[in-house]
């Protein structure tokens, strides 16, 4: 390189991004949300050779994890999820009686790094505002710049085609709510629709989370806090083992669907 040419800087940035974005227009699995459950799911899928991309509204990744418990940036992880933290090389402090603690910032950094290294792509600053519904199943996502969403200006979206969509949008279960509102009031739940999460009961919330992680509508899997929101199960505070385990389970379900098709 002979000196820095400003226009060339712009050119390589735009070309690099556009190449990645063009490549992501047809994928196996679209994960919505780069929180702990979404990044875990993407990691395990990409590791098995599944073409996976995450779309994340915010500029940063990690969802609710970096805040830890009430801005004490530490998270509690149960013994059942120790193996996953080892896979992500997250350092664990053992306080006994099954209370494992991790640095929330380290957990986000390691998870994100492993996710990218496995081959999953993360597109930040992009919001999913709708899904593609065809022949009775979800088969893609409708995207827009988060900045346009925030500015409340109407900009027509672009679309990514995918065999499977994973709703890892956290407390609001945004994708399931879109499906309930626009396509079918009968998600595969006891009541048919999104019930909304219940008040804190950590142990129950963590147990229910794994059960609640499933294909909720043809082509749509729900993971993480969104799974408990859909099923009307409790929240659990800054306990994150379930988020990792839910992400891993979502990846297994998605893998089965993708390889069956
Ligand atoms: C693009 C979107 C959209 C959209 C949302 O909240 P998250 O961290 O979600 P989980 O389920 O992986 O983890 C939950 C955990 O962080 C948590 O909140 C816990 C344990 N709470 C317990 C308690 O008692 O409170 O991440 C979701 C991500 C965020 O980064 C959003 O910005 C993103 O999804 N997102 N991205 N398009 N429509 N909606």
Q: How confident is the model at residue 130 (pLDDT cuts 50, 70, 90)?
A: very high
Measured distance CA(10)–CA(20) in Å, rounded: 16
* Cα 66-29-58 angle, rounded to 5 deg: 30
Compute the distance from residue 226 Cα to the ligand 1 centre, in Å. Answer: 8
Write down the domain spans for the chain: 27-260
Contact 168 CB / ligand 1 (< 6 Å): yes
The answer on pLDDT for 26 being more than 70 is: yes
Nearest to 27 by CA among 165, 223, 179: 165
The answer on pLDDT for 2 being more than 90 is: no
Angle, helix 36-47 to helix 104-117, in steps of 10 degrees: 30
The answer on pLDDT for 132 being more than 70 is: yes
Contact 213 CB / ligand 1 (< 6 Å): no
Q: What is the predicted pLDDT for the residue at 190?
A: 64
Measured distance CA(24)–CA(118) in Å, rounded: 15
Separation in Å, CA 35 to CA 111, 168, 180, 247: 10, 7, 22, 10
* Cα 61-66-67 angle, rounded to 5 deg: 130
Ligand 1: which of 44, 55, 63 to mutate, judged by most atoms within 8 Å of the beta carbon? 63
Q: What is the predicted pLDDT for the residue at 191?
A: 64
Compute the distance from residue 63 Cα to the ligand 1 centre, in Å. Answer: 5
Contact 131 CB / ligand 1 (< 6 Å): no
Contact 216 CB / ligand 1 (< 6 Å): no
- pLDDT tens per residue across span 147-204: 999 999 999 999 999 999 999 999 999 999 999 999 976 776 666 689 999 999 999 9
Compute the distance from residue 65 Cα to the ligand 1 centre, in Å. Answer: 9
> What b/e sequence results for 46-82 when a residue is b if at least 16 CB atoms lie within 10 Å of its CB, and e otherwise?
bbbebbbbbbbbeeebbbbbbebeeeebebbbbeebb
In the chain, % of residues over pLDDT 90: 94
Nearest to 159 by CA among 144, 146, 142: 142
Q: What is the predicted pLDDT for the residue at 193?
A: 83
Q: What is the predicted pLDDT for the residue at 184?
A: 76
- Phi and psi torsions of 200, nearest 5°: -55, 130
Ligand 1: which of 148, 169, 237, 245 to mutate, judged by most atoms within 8 Å of the beta carbon? 169
Contact 193 CB / ligand 1 (< 6 Å): no
Predicted TM-score (pTM) of the model is 0.98
Q: What is the predicted pLDDT for the residue at 1?
A: 65
Contact 143 CB / ligand 1 (< 6 Å): no
Q: What is the predicted pLDDT for the residue at 261?
A: 85
- pLDDT tens per residue across span 219-247: 999 999 999 999 999 999 999 999 999 99
The answer on pLDDT for 101 being more than 90 is: yes
For atom 33 of ligand 1, the residue with the nearest CA is 33
CB 200 within 8 A of CB 234: yes
The 10 Å Cβ neighbour count of residue 28 is: 21
Q: Hey, what CATH topology would domain 27-260 get?
A: FAD/NAD(P)-binding domain (3.50.50)
- pLDDT tens per residue across span 242-252: 999 999 999 99
Compute the distance from residue 157 Cα to the ligand 1 centre, in Å. Answer: 22
CB 77 within 8 A of CB 244: yes
- Give the chain's mean pLDDT: 96
Ligand 1: which of 225, 237, 239 to mutate, judged by most atoms within 8 Å of the beta carbon? 225
């Amino acid at each position: 390189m002979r000196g820095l040419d400003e226009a060339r800087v712009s050119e390589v940035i735009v070309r690099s991004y556009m190449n990645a974005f063009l490549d992501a227009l047809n994928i196996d699995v679209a994960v919505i949300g780069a929180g702990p459950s979404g990044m875990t799911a993407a990691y395990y899928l990409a590791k098995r050779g599944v073409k996976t991309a995450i779309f994340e509204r915010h500029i940063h990744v990690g969802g609710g994890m970096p805040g830890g418990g009430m801005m004490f940036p530490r998270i509690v992880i149960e013994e059942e999820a120790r193996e996953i933290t080892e896979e992500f090389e997250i350092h664990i402090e053992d306080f006994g009686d099954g209370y494992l603690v991790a640095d929330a910032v380290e957990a986000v950094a390691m998870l994100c790094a492993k996710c990218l290294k496995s081959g999953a792509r993360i597109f930040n600053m992009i919001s999913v505002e709708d899904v593609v519904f065809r022949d009775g199943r979800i088969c893609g996502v409708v995207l827009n710049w988060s900045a346009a969403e925030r500015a409340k200006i109407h900009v027509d979206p672009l679309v990514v085609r995918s065999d499977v969509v994973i709703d890892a949008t956290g407390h609001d279960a945004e994708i399931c709510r879109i499906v309930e509102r626009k396509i079918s009031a009968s998600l595969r739940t006891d009541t048919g629709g999104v019930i909304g999460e219940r008040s804190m009961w950590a142990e129950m919330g963590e147990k229910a989370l794994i059960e609640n992680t499933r294909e909720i509508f043809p082509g749509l899997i729900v993971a993480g806090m969104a799974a408990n929101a859909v099923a009307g199960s409790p929240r659990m505070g800054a306990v994150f083992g379930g988020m990792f385990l839910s992400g891993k389970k979502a990846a297994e379900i998605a893998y089965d669907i993708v390889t069956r098709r």
